[in-house]
Structure 1
C-alpha cells in the first residue's frame, strides 16, 4: 500500500510518523503513560493501515467494517498469545 516512488514513500512515512506522534501526545495529555501512549498510537496506525489495505482489496465492505475486523483480529490474537 506504500507508494512506488521513494519520494512519495518517504512523504507517506513522514506523514504516518507525524500522525502517530500527534495521537500519542493526545493520549499523554489525557494521563496515559508515555510507553503506553506510544504503543497505542503505533498499534492504532498499523491497524488502520492494515484495514485500509484490506478495504482497497475488498471495497464491497466499508472501511469501518474492515477497521472493526482488524481490531477484532488484533484482540483475538492478543488473547490467543496470552492463553498459549
Structure 2
C-alpha cells in the first residue's frame, strides 16, 4: 500500500478502535480493558479477517471473522489448552 493510501487507512482504524472502546466503556468494561483488550485486538482481528476474505472470497466474511477470533482466542489460551501448533 502506498503511503498516500496508508495514512487514511490508519486514521480510519484509529477512529473505529476508539468507537469500539467508547462503546465498551459505556457498558462498564473499564478503560484499561476497553482500550487494550477489546478495542485494539478486535480491530486487528477484524482487519485481518477482511484481508483474508478479500484473498479468499469463496468463504463468507462471517466465516473468516469466526476463524480469526477463534485463532485469537487460541493464542490467549494456556499453553496446554487447545492451542493449535502450526
TM over 0.5: yes
| Aligned-pair Cα RMSD in Å | 1.1
- TM-score after normalising by structure 1: 0.87
Write the distance in 1 (CA, Å) between the matches of 2:30 and 2:6: 31
Q: Give the corresponding residue for 1:34.
A: 31
How far the C-alpha of 1:5 sits from its partner, in A, is: 2.2
Q: Which runs of 5+ in 1 are unaligned?
A: none
Write the distance in 2 (CA, Å) between the matches of 1:57 and 1:65: 13
Write the distance in 2 (CA, Å) between the matches of 1:72 and 1:48: 12
How far the C-alpha of 1:8 sits from its partner, in A, is: 1.5
Structure 1 moving runs of 4+ over 3 Å:
none
- TM-score after normalising by structure 2: 0.85
Write the distance in 1 (CA, Å) between the matches of 2:2 and 2:76: 35
Point out the structure with the larger helix share. Answer: 1
Q: Give the corresponding residue for 2:44.
A: 46
Q: Give the corresponding residue for 1:67.
A: 65
